[in-house]
Amino acid sequence: MVFRSRTQGVLAIFLLALFGVKFSLAQAPGPASNFRQLLQRIAEFSPNPCGPPYGNEDNWQSAANTERHLFSVAADTVTRELNASASSPGSPQERAAAALKKLEQMSAEINASWPDDNRFHFQVLDLPPALVVKMSIRTHEGFFVFGIPGEDSRKPNRAWRNVGSNEEFSEFSVPPSHFDLYPLHRGPSGNARFLANAIYSGCAGSIGVAYDAREWDPRGIGDFGQIIKQEGSFGLDDKVRGFPQIGKLQTNGPLVTLPYCWFSAIDTWDNPSLCAVDTYDLSGDDVKFRSRLYNRPDLVPIAKAIEYAEKRDYPAVLGYCASDEIARRMVRDVPPSVYADDLRITRTGDGKERVEFGDSPAYRFNVEKKGDRWLVTAFRAE
């Protein structure tokens, strides 16, 4: 009898544990429930971080963390839907879009008081055998990439995976941000490629730009790699006198062109004066850098020499100077921070200029085109 009672007791505990596990699983919130909770949490913030209430650093960070979590849950939802059933109707793009549409409708309900642009939205870029999904909430955007690696633990694989996202780079994950996605030319291997063009800024001031090109190779365990990375800035407008911006964004065909500007010591206002356009060749399986063109190649050596002189990097300064003496003088005399404020440029001959700026000290440079390059041929600080 003792044995029987103990057996019954153990059985009761086992059944209780079993039903408890089932009850717990039944009560565990699914992705849709988690997404709804996150939408309700984020609804406590303003639809725009630059609108009222703003200025609270904790609010910025808390909202950003919630937004990233919300995107992650949406990505999990897409992965589940893609793997739900091989016999599910519709293409992978259609099935992903259908799942995301439900989340979008949920945001329309919960965030009804917000402007439509600040609610949850999505875009699906179909790049067989990959899908790129852009998501947005408030003024934060991001992307996730889904693919099917050929192998999993050295065995054939047919399951979709979330193979990468923009969260790997800080400039692509700090709101406010805005993305545009562009399919890119495929190399001979046929791997899917795309470019994310991110515009990011604070609530005022100049604008940052970042170009992030990626490639998905499904062979083996899969490889989601970066093939181009370029960062820069744009000013409050594109009308810096004497410094026209150069180039246009071009993503069609094997040659890609990426325009950008950057802040330097020769800027005269809160706008970057120097701009460039980089060209990359995507015709092969390995992406090659082709060229860089400047809007003012005559002033690039001055800006670059000052940049490296401030860091006391003599070899780098020498690369932009016509002699050792000039480079050493710059490394010795240039203070830690130089800002032009005004810029006076005088042509002194064919391919020769005198550049002056500043007051106490005043800086004077001579630059000359030698071959296909401009170099600093004289420097003086007074």
Q: Which residues contact 35 (CB under 8 A, 6 or more apart)?
A: 70, 73, 74, 77, 103, 106
Note the pTM of the prediction, 2 decimals.
0.85
State yes or no: pLDDT of 27 exceeds 50.
no
Q: Are residues 176 and 80 in the same domain?
A: yes
Q: How far apart are CA 265 and CA 125, in angstroms?
A: 41
Is residue 361, in this structure, part of any structural domain at all? yes
**CB distance 132 to 125 below 8 Å:** yes
Q: Are residues 221 and 332 in the same domain?
A: no
Q: How far is CA 81 from CA 99, 228, 296, in A?
A: 7, 31, 52
Q: Are residues 317 and 172 in the same domain?
A: no
Q: How far apart are CA 59 and CA 39, in angstroms?
A: 15
Q: How far apart are CA 70 and CA 17, in angstroms?
A: 33
Q: Are residues 290 and 333 in the same domain?
A: no
Q: Are residues 286 and 361 in the same domain?
A: no
Going by C-alpha positions, the residue among 195, 300, 295, 196 that lies closest to residue 247 is 295
Going by C-alpha positions, the residue among 295, 291, 193, 207 that lies closest to residue 244 is 295
Which pLDDT tens digit goes with each residue over 32-80? Answer: 789 999 999 999 888 887 766 554 545 666 788 899 899 999 999 999 9
Q: Are residues 52 and 195 in the same domain?
A: yes
Going by C-alpha positions, the residue among 292, 279, 323 that lies closest to residue 305 is 323
CATH of the domain at 371: 3.10.450
How far does Cα 381 stand from its chain's mean position?
40
Q: How far apart are CA 132 and CA 183, in angstroms?
A: 10
Confidence of residue 366 (pLDDT cuts 50, 70, 90): very high
Percent of the chain, pLDDT > 90?
66
Is residue 23, in this structure, part of any structural domain at all? no
Q: Which residues contact 296 (CB under 8 A, 6 or more apart)?
A: 242, 243, 273, 274
Which pLDDT tens digit goes with each residue over 130-163? Answer: 999 999 998 888 899 999 999 988 899 999 999 9
Is residue 38, in this structure, part of any structural domain at all? yes
Which pLDDT does position 200 carry in this prediction? 80
- Look at residues 273, 294, 315 and tell me which one is the last residue of a structural domain: 294
The residue type at 27:
Q
Which pLDDT tens digit goes with each residue over 205-256? Answer: 678 899 999 999 999 999 999 999 999 998 777 677 889 889 999 999 999 9
How far does Cα 276 stand from its chain's mean position?
19
- Look at residues 243, 264, 294 and tell me which one is the last residue of a structural domain: 294
Tokens of 48: 């725009």
- Look at residues 246, 278, 294 and tell me which one is the last residue of a structural domain: 294
Is residue 16, in this structure, part of any structural domain at all? no
- Secondary structure of residue 150 in the 3-state scheme: coil
Q: How far apart are CA 344 and CA 173, in angstroms?
A: 40
Domain containing 290 equals 30-294
**CB distance 64 to 174 below 8 Å:** yes
Which pLDDT does position 154 carry in this prediction? 86
**CB distance 211 to 228 below 8 Å:** yes
Q: Are residues 164 and 290 in the same domain?
A: yes
* Number of independent structural domains in the chain: 2
Q: Are residues 240 and 275 in the same domain?
A: yes
Which pLDDT does position 59 carry in this prediction? 62
Confidence of residue 345 (pLDDT cuts 50, 70, 90): very high
Is residue 97, in this structure, part of any structural domain at all? yes
Q: How far apart are CA 236 and CA 296, in angstroms?
A: 19
**CB distance 72 to 27 below 8 Å:** no
Q: Are residues 144 and 281 in the same domain?
A: yes
Q: Are residues 138 and 257 in the same domain?
A: yes
Is residue 5, in this structure, part of any structural domain at all? no
Is residue 375, in this structure, part of any structural domain at all? yes
Peptide bond preceding 188 in cis form (omega within 30 of 0)? no
Going by C-alpha positions, the residue among 118, 115, 145, 142 that lies closest to residue 132 is 145
Q: Which residues contact 86 (CB under 8 A, 6 or more apart)?
A: 158
To 5 degrees, how large is the angle CA 314–CA 293–CA 287? 95
Q: Are residues 188 and 336 in the same domain?
A: no
Q: How far apart are CA 204 and CA 232, in angstroms?
A: 17
Q: How far apart are CA 316 and CA 63, in angstroms?
A: 42
If you average pLDDT over every residue of the chain, what do you get?
Answer: 87
Comparing 221 with 169, the larger pLDDT belongs to 221
Q: Are residues 275 and 326 in the same domain?
A: no
- Secondary structure of residue 61 in the 3-state scheme: helix
Going by C-alpha positions, the residue among 198, 5, 32 that lies closest to residue 104 is 32
Comparing 360 with 119, the larger pLDDT belongs to 119
241: region left, alpha or beta (phi > 0 left; psi from -120 to 50 alpha): beta
Which DSSP state fits 168?
Answer: G
Is residue 14, in this structure, part of any structural domain at all? no
- Secondary structure of residue 377 in the 3-state scheme: strand
